[in-house]
Amino acid sequence: MRLAAERSFGLRGGDPLVFGRGGEEALALAERGIPFEIVPGVTSAVGAAASSRIPLTHRDLAASFAVVTGNRSREDSAPIRWDLLAHGVDTLVVYMGIGRLEEIRTELLRHGKPPSTPVALIERGTTDRQRVVTGELAHIHRLADAMRIGNPALIVIGEVVLVREQLLLLEAQARLAIG
């Protein structure tokens, strides 16, 4: 979001209207008569997944994806429907969920998501400090602790995470063949 006002407010990368408080900030500015402009960006779910070599959809693996927040602003916020998300989409991307990773994992397992489901944790996606850790849903919370994954981070859950491993292997083989 670019503001026409004399001072700017916490500008961030990504799409300001996808879990970025852009709607709230735009309303606050409009209520005060402050002119502003919303400049769309690539949402970090798509950008971080792409820079990690993870397609969110794949003709053989995933025909759908959903993006949810793992962080609730208030305890009385509408509950996240983990029961529907466990089976209703092929790829699930969770923003701001590292602090609740064990809870997210538990809910998905409780609602029948297989423990062997591939998961990627993308810390500081699309930056020069990006880190990606992959594992299985059953143990991902322990891996996150061991690797000290922190926010900002995305959680990508689904079979498409396996494409990353295939791409990295094939890219390494190609480099060896060329070099």
Where do the domains of the chain lie, and which CATH numbers do they carry? Answer: 2-37 (no CATH), 54-166 (3.30.950.10)
Lowest mean pLDDT among 76-90, 117-131, 133-147: 76-90
Q: What is the DSSP letter of 159?
A: T
Q: What is the pLDDT of residues 67-115, one digit of tens each?
A: 998 876 667 677 899 999 999 999 999 998 999 999 999 999 999 999 9
Residue 132 pLDDT greater than 90, yes or no: yes
Tell me the pairing of strands 91-95 and 153-157: antiparallel
Query: From CA 13, how far away is CA 15, in angstroms rounded?
Result: 7
**Per-residue pLDDT averaged across 163-178, rounded?**
92
The torsion region of residue 45 among left (phi > 0), alpha (psi -120 to 50) and beta comes to: alpha
Tokens encoding 74: 């208030």
> pTM for the complete prediction?
0.83
Q: Is the pLDDT of residue 2 over 60?
A: no
**Which has the closest alpha carbon to 18: 52, 61, 68?**
68
